[in-house]
Every structure is written in structure tokens, then in C-alpha cells.
Amino acid sequence: MMGGGESYAALEESLLPEQAAARRQWEKTYLDVLGVCCSAEVALVERLLAPLDGVRAVSVVVPSRTVVVEHDPAAVSQSRIVKVLNGAGLEASVRAYGSSGVIGRWPSPYIVACGVLLLASSFRWLLPPLQWLALAAACAGAPPMLLRGIAAASRLTLDINILMLIAVAGAVALKDYTEAGVIVFLFTTAEWLETLACTKASAGMSSLMSMIPPKAVLAETGEVVNVRDIGVGAVIAVRAGEMVPVDGMVVDGQSEVDERSLTGESYPVPKQPHSEVWAGTLNLD
């Protein structure tokens, strides 16, 4: 009897992890991660978040500097995810619902301090000691690069931050402090401008996606279904004046479609059977 009881207990314990996984409630959290500037950071983000208990999937979109984490909030909270990313100097923040990202962001204090000190050092011909401000400029702007470089090196990953730090260290070793300051200022400023461009492009795409209707009408049954539930090969009906809910091909009927939101084409584009149509465009006829 005792042996059977022990076997039953062992079986019960072996099933607990699967039962716990089945009971988990998964949700997606969108984060703006300004430290993601190339594919090297993709591997870094995945290595940081994948080992966390309660994280099921991690997706990194480099152009928009967005990280999508599918996780169980009961096991790992949003604040913990942000803390882990910021520990590597990735400047992460949770994107508010309905927001399309960071637009119109001002330069970071590191960029401002670096630029001001570098500008002041340019007057060294009036006061020679001002040349040391160029070294101060390099030190003022380097912390974000240094944090990301250390995080990458600790995971045996070579990224652009490490390469830039090597360049700065070389300039300092040669006592060319102005060059070191210029390298740091140009790199950090370029990252900031890239962030602005990417987030504005992401905002444009988000506004376009918001135009797509969330539901569609099945042509065969007239049933209204969620767009995400439409499978490949499904036939939907799009009436005059309605937005096309999904990408597809015309199977019956003729019409003109306003595609200016996608292509900028000012004139309606005629559609007939076998013509392609795109989500977010307007059926005119």
C-alpha cells in the first residue's frame, strides 16, 4: 500500500508542471527599447528574456525598436522585464495601450552634455585648458554605450557598441581627445535620429493598421467574424464604402478601390476577378 501511495504521489508531482502551464494566462506586452539598433541587440534581448520563468516568446522588431514579449504576468511582471532590459542599458519602457511609440523624443542628457562640452572645447585656442573638455565630452556621452557594451561582452556577443568603445579608447590612447569626443557625439546623435525616424515610420504604419476593420463578413454564410479568425481560402464580402479587412484576391465582381493610403495613388484603381486587393484600402463601388 505504501509503495502504491508513493507511486501515486510521484505521478501527481510529474503532472503538476504541465497542469501549471495549462493554467497560465498568457498576454503580450509591447515595449519601446531604444537600445535596439541592429541585429546584435536582437540576440542580446532574447538571451536576457528567454530564461525568465513565465516568458513564452520574445519577438524583436529592429526598425521600430519594439520588443513583444508573450508572458504570464503572474510569473513575471512587466516591471521585471523592463528592469532586466534596463540592466543591460537598453532603455526599455512599456508602451502605453494605443500608443505607437516614442515620437518627438528629445535628445538624452548624455547627448546634450557631450555636445555642450565638445562645443566648449572648440575654444581651446583662446584658453588651452579647455582642450580637456573634449575628454570630458567623451566620458559624458559614453555611459549608454558602455553599459550596452558590457552587457554584450558578458554574453560573448560583439556588437557596434563594443566597436565604438574600441575606437574611442584608441583615440584617447593617442591623446586625440577631440576625436574621441566627436566619435561619441556623432554615434549617440545618429542613434537618436535613427530612433526618431523609426518611431515616426512605426506611427505611420500603426495609423494605417488602425484603419483596418476588426471584423469581416463571410460571403457564403453572411456571418460576421473577427479578422484574425479568417483562414486562408476564406471568401469575404466587401460592400461599397467599406474598408478591405484583409489582403486577398477578387473572386467575383468588379469595382474601383481607393489605394491612396498605401501607395499615394490619387486615382481609384479598377479591380476585377484575380486582381489583388490590400487591407486598409477603400472599396468605392
Give the pLDDT score at 21.
53
Question: Could you read off the pLDDT of 224-243 as tens digits, one per residue?
Answer: 888 878 888 888 888 888 88
Domains in the chain with CATH codes: 109-198 (no CATH), 215-283 (2.70.150.10)
Average pLDDT over residues 111-125: 93
CA distance 36 to 42: 7
Position 217 pLDDT exceeds 60? yes
Where are the extended beta strands (E) located within the chain? 27-33, 55-61, 66-71, 92-94, 215-218, 224-226, 236-237, 248-249, 255-258, 269-271, 276-277, 282-283
> How would you label 227-249 residue by residue, b for 16+ Cβ within 10 Å and e otherwise?
eeebeeeeebebeeeebbbbebe
The model carries a pTM of 0.58
Mean pLDDT is lowest, of 60-69, 134-143, 203-212, for 203-212
Contacts of residue 239, defined as CB under 8 A and 6 or more positions apart, other chains included, come to: 283
Under a CB-based contact definition with an 8 Å cutoff, are residues 236 and 230 in contact? yes
Average pLDDT over residues 197-208: 70
Shortest CA distance to 76 belongs to which of 91, 55, 94?
55
Question: Could you read off the pLDDT of 29-51 as tens digits, one per residue?
Answer: 888 887 787 776 788 888 889 88
- Which residue bears the cell 518627438? 104
Under a CB-based contact definition with an 8 Å cutoff, are residues 46 and 92 in contact? no
Give the pLDDT score at 132.
94
Question: Percent of the chain, pLDDT > 70?
Answer: 84
Under a CB-based contact definition with an 8 Å cutoff, are residues 90 and 41 in contact? yes
Give the pLDDT score at 11.
37
Question: Could you read off the pLDDT of 129-180 as tens digits, one per residue?
Answer: 899 999 999 999 999 889 888 877 877 778 888 999 999 999 999 999 999 9
Question: Percent of the chain, pLDDT > 90?
Answer: 23
Position 27 pLDDT exceeds 90? no
